[in-house]
Structure 1
């Protein structure tokens, strides 16, 4: 636990000092050491003028060099420190690195210009127009204005260039960071979209499985009850019902194989069409349902997803009648106009008994989702005659 705490505090310190990686810390440590060596080599010559012992100026030099360790967090203060040490004619590495760090890590452009101007003035006045002229030897006889021009050119190279490089590097880093953040956001968005697509696909497959299994199984149950009722007195009709039940079972297996085949091959299953509604009604009639099919308008082909949704609405509505309204008369209407509308209305069932099947409560919700996903309208509810009505307009 103690080691973990030390590691956590170390990581927090690195973040506070701007060391994003360990190599950033190593780089700053190397720069601090090189700057300290430079100060230790040059500062004693300046300090001797004032009688300062060499060991004191050497220690001070390494301390000044160590200030580069904070260049990422306090670049402005570091530039001001560099300007303050300019009269000693030492610490050139400190000055260059400080100015570069100012351009990279200081976001306030006015601050960059102001601090850079201070450093420029200090270097120009103190170093080049005064100190160098005093040391110039034969060149000391040059006019002051020539020294000023020389100092200005050298200062531009030693101060303006690092600042400009720092500004470019900082802008580039921020651009890269922004692009990386945008890429992460897009990746997260893609994950969400992929998860949403998977959820929608699972819901679609669940609806398909529900429609296929519920409808076919409900018909098989109806035929099984019919066989049970007529077998003792009408063997021929019982055999006919058994054959129909077997055919319904084979149809259910075929449709399930199609759905599973889509899952394995990422292909497209053959979607049902409105022309298949007549066969759907015939199956219910064969199961003993009193069902009438009415087609209004001029039949024409619709988009595949529209016809498939309309077919599934009729299929699920008939399945619900088999489940909950055994023996009720049913009217199925398919109306063509600007689009297509299907309506399934069943009368009040003659009794409370019948082949009631368990219901998961997903049928109506699945129909609504299918229709509304295509921009259609869906309505379902009881009629005034105690029947039930399902309507979908696509």
Structure 2
């Protein structure tokens, strides 16, 4: 295992070329060619020849050529086969030697294994046809059955059998390669799914944190600003404002604790707030604007995710109204339709000396994301026909 890791590190750092550290790379081809040439020289030196011809030093030249062809078995299989055929014909002119044809069999196997797939059937047919032609040609030319049989058996062993053997080996390798690619694709998809799930969860948590923390802190900031302007002017109203500040602080801490508790518990549902209908009076009381509530249609229980989204939309809209138009008015309209519920919050600019509080611009984005995830429709901006309303937030949620 350490050796494998060292090789991988070397490839990454560039210390060793990947093609030379690969066990199927050029170094192995060179090693195979040297082994075949050495073995062939040993066969020639021992004068092992199936055809009764004596070996000489010149017989090593075709052997050397076919061994050099082995160097092309992966990078250019057909070119290597052509070089091997030239070596085989050269060897036949000198008198066939067993050493050269044994190496040629290895070359034929490699060409069938590493060459183009469409070449394999033709190579198999060519090996069978050439063996039959050579066997019959030898028999009719020499009228020697034993010699013809020896040629046929030899060519079958060194040519037909290697090519035929490469077929199942190649099929196994290709199947293994497909499985490897599929496993890599599954791993990539799993990683993408994990990253997407993490991004979705981060966005979800960002929305919740914004709604839990930013809304209450914005209300605290608005009322604190108003309290500063009333110092020494109206103590009774100052006490009311300080009460609102305290209520928002307590509510913010309570929702933060509830959020932490939900995150610590196992489960997929993240519902941090109560229902919209139950929370409307509290939201209206905690807001820094005068809020009116209108319900249209027959009220009905909403799905938890829809109810939670509606609650956050009203909460964020009232917070934005308090930040950008403190002391103004806001009208919350909850309309129950047969297949959906429509939440509308209209806010108007006041004649107030309290300066607005700048926001981070995340509220509208969070509301839009909530509605989009539920398959609803969302819009926010100044209404076209209603000049009394400075800003309108409308969300239609399927229910």
TM band (smaller chain): 0.7 to 0.9
Instruction: Mark the CA change 1:45 to 1:92 in structure 2 (over 3 Å): closer, same or farther.
Output: closer
Alignment of 1:157-168 (within 5 A): 158-168=158-168
Matched residue, 1:65: 67
Any idea what the Cα deviations from partners look like across 1:199-246, whole Å, max 9, x if unmatched? 222222111111112211122234334544556466565445434422
> For the Cα contact (< 8 Å) 2:345–2:393, is it kept in 1?
yes
Alpha-carbon spacing, 1:360–1:256, altered in 2? closer, same or farther (3 Å) = same
Q: Residue in 1 aligned with 2:391?
A: 388
Question: Which stretch of structure 1 is more off in the superposition, 175-184 or 256-265?
Answer: 256-265
Corresponding residue to 1:88 among 82, 85, 96: 96
Q: Give secondary structure in 2 for the equivalent of 1:298.
A: coil
- The total of aligned residue pairs comes to 374
Higher helix share goes to which structure? 1
1:106-185 correspondence runs (5 A) = 106-109=115-118, 111-126=119-134, 130=138, 144=145, 155-156=155-156, 158-185=158-185
User: Are the structure 2 counterparts of residues 231 and 254 from structure 1 closer, same or farther at C-alpha, using a change threshold of 3 Å?
Assistant: same
Which position in structure 2 is the counterpart of 1:30?
35
Instruction: Name the structure 1 match of 2:344.
Output: 343
For 1:223 and 1:128, locate their aligned partners in 2 and report how far apart those are by CA, in whole Å: 108
Structure 1 alignment gaps of length 5 or more:
none
How many angstroms apart in 2 are the aligned matches of 1:38 and 1:320?
A: 93
- Give the corresponding residue for 1:311: 311
| 2:277 counterpart of 1:272 | no
Structure 2 distance, partners of 1:348, 1:70, is 82
Task: Give me the whole-angstrom Cα distance separating, in 2, the residues matched to 1:104 and 1:364.
Answer: 62
User: TM-score, normalising length from structure 2?
Assistant: 0.77
Q: How big is the shift at 1:166?
A: 0.9
Measured in 2, the distance between the counterparts of 1:88 and 1:11 equals 40
Match of 1:257 in 2: 257
Structure 2: runs of 5 or more not aligned: 1-9
Q: For residues 319 and 167 of structure 1, what CA distance do their matches in structure 2 show?
A: 73
Higher mean C-alpha displacement, 356-365 vs 319-328: 356-365
Displacement after TM superposition at 1:365 (Å): 1.7
Contact 1:309 1:371 in 2 (8 A): yes
SS of match in other structure, 1:380: strand
Cα RMSD, aligned residues only: 3.9
The answer to whether residue 82 in structure 2 is matched with residue 77 in structure 1 is yes
Aligned CA distance change for structure 1 residues 226 and 63 (closer, same or farther; 3 Å): closer
Q: CA deviation at 1:247?
A: 3.1
